[in-house]
Amino acid sequence: MHIEFRHLRTIKAIHDSGGLARAADQLNITQSALSHQIKGIEDQAGVELFVRRSKPLKLSSSGMRLLAAAETILPQVAALEAEFEGLVAGKSGRLHIAIECHACFEWLLPVLEEFRKAWPDVDVDIRPGLAFDALPALRKEEVDLVISSDPEDLPGTDFTPLFDYEPVFVAASSHPLAQKAFIEAKDFEGETLITYPVDRERLDVFSQLLTPNKVEPKTIRQVELTAVILLLVASNRGVAVLPDWVVRQVRYNSDYVTLPLTETGITRRLYAATRTGETNLPFMAHLIRLARKEAVKLQRN
């Protein structure tokens, strides 16, 4: 027995319209072709699908079983076709994001809030658990976009620049270092450095300043939330280095001081890493534009 989608559509059309003539019009075929198709289905099934000599034409018990299958299968097929059409048109898809930048949550969430309104059919998720195996996860298609400040020359991977930022030193306004014009590596030697709970090679203060200068803080205290880091800094429990868009909220607060790292400052760049061929998908390109716009807004505030 070989049942095709057209057979299911035929059974449903006859049931819904109540007759061969109307069903033939609905299916855009002749009544003769429809009758031939019905006979072919019955020959394959080995059962009668309709109660003969009934007006209007009625389905037999076997026909009702086939109708039930049609009413289950056809909507699923239609939904799948619509999903595939959306993928081809770039209107739908999956956007699972891994973040190598812990502070990026505060910048990215407003971006995703605006994104979901424009692309309601895109499945969006943030995968923080993959944060530090993010690029291998991208290649394995476990995630679709990685926010990273460390581009690599990887086959099949695009690194699209998002924006530049400056890691800045944050301390209580009463801290002895608050009087300096800028902060040097040696200034951290006697300090408690409050950081996010990530590997030090992923922290700008280490990769760009302390490690190259072979300087170690007195102690390191790891804290998950930015608000708690700032609370501890204001209480003179330590100092921190945070991206400029994070410290915008304390820049004009008399409890804090923010200072550049080194006399010339340090500039870093964030990238969106995507699989080659998916970078220009409409929803992916739109997310990148929104990310750039939100970063500019945060840095200007």
Domain spans of the chain?
5-88, 93-164+268-300, 167-260
Q: Can you state the angle between helices 5-17 and 20-27, rounded to 10 degrees?
A: 130
Dihedral, 52, 53, 58, 63 alpha carbons, nearest 10: 0
Q: Is the peptide bond before 243 cis (omega within 30 degrees of 0)?
A: no
Please state the rounded mean pLDDT for residues 106-127. Answer: 88
Q: Is the pLDDT of residue 25 over 90?
A: no
The pLDDT, as a whole number, for residue 7 is: 78
Give this prediction's pTM. 0.65
Of the candidates 167, 223, 215, the residue with the CA atom closest to the CA atom of residue 191: 215
H-assigned helices in 18-171: 20-27, 31-45, 61-89, 104-118, 134-139
Q: Is the pLDDT of residue 121 over 90?
A: no
**44-85 pLDDT, tens digit each:** 777 887 776 667 677 888 888 888 888 888 887 776 665 555
Superfamily of the domain at 167-260 = Periplasmic binding protein-like II (3.40.190.10)
Give domain 5-88's CATH number out of 1.10.600.10, 1.10.10.10, 3.20.20.70, 1.10.3720.10.
1.10.10.10
Confidence of residue 172 (pLDDT cuts 50, 70, 90): very high
Confidence of residue 144 (pLDDT cuts 50, 70, 90): very high
Q: Is the pLDDT of residue 100 over 90?
A: no
**Do 5-88 and 167-260 share a fold?**
no
Domain 93-164+268-300: give its CATH code: 3.40.190.10
Q: Which two tokens stand for residue 180?
A: 């300096």
Q: Is the pLDDT of residue 4 over 80?
A: no
The pLDDT, as a whole number, for residue 127 is: 80
Q: Is the pLDDT of residue 20 over 80?
A: no
